[in-house]
Amino acid sequence: MTRQPLVAQRAETLLGTSVVATAPVAGGDIATATRLRLSDGTTALMKTLPHAPDDFFPDEAAGLRWLAETTADGGVQVPEVLGVDHECVIVRWVEPGKNTVDAAAAFGRALARTHAAGAPCFGLDRDGSPDSYIGRLPLPNRPADTWAEFYAVRRVLPYLKLARDRGHADGEHAAAIEAVVGRLPDLLPDEPPARLHGDLWNGNVLWGLDGQAWLIDPAAYGGHREVDLAMLALFGLPHLPRVLDAYLEETPLADGWEDRVALHQLFPLLVHACHFGGGYAARAAEVAAQYT
């Protein structure tokens, strides 16, 4: 490791501790990641994004801290937030390891406990704007009375509109998706809001050298726990069947949850349509057609 003076100075200002060395970290397509070695022996990860929205990194830090509230009760592991400002966040380093069946089972149980910790509402109930971010996109989180309403007006419809505005979805795609929106109250079961990671694709599950799975880069809010599980299934997670078995042993899901997996994948598919275009909108329309 060498020492990048500007990065080190920014970290030192936030942490009040000298930075001995820095090294770039590969991965991630939004922020620049740097590994820090501090004079007190701590190793940390610093993410920076020049000209980020003022609440971009503070929202991420708030999500990590909210999820961390469940760890003492067996909830999922998340890195400790060491410092944050409007253009960067610094968290304690998690040494990567290998995924194993045992770690997957432990992760399933821990995720169930984090979900079970609950949330005050569907969305976020906090001072100021409740909105946050998923990737580079704003994530609307103004509370709604039911999950069906929240999923429709805060998750599916905003990203369908944005995908159309960006030319990544056409009228046929929109008609198919809008048709299922009206059926959501009949399709989605009533359940109290769970404490969600919110962007739980496999890239945000870090298998640690300590044999545990750690969650990173949250877009946390109160929602239906099937959304986190559906997102894990959408992009594939090592040992996912074992994760799900352990989750269900800890906290069963409502009857018919397997039939709703694709329904809860509409949201991440539309987010990907907004970000990347491609065939994601068409795939979302095909999913929606299964429920109409």
Are 11 and 90 a contacting pair, CB within 8 Å? yes
- Told to judge if 217 belongs to the known catalytic residues of this protein, a careful annotator would answer no
Q: How far apart are CA 274 and CA 278, in angstroms?
A: 9
Which member of 40, 55, 145, 199 is catalytic? 199
Q: Which amino acid is it at 93?
A: W
Between the CA of residue 143 and those of 47, 185, 192, 282, what are the distances in Å? 29, 17, 13, 29
Catalytic residues: 199
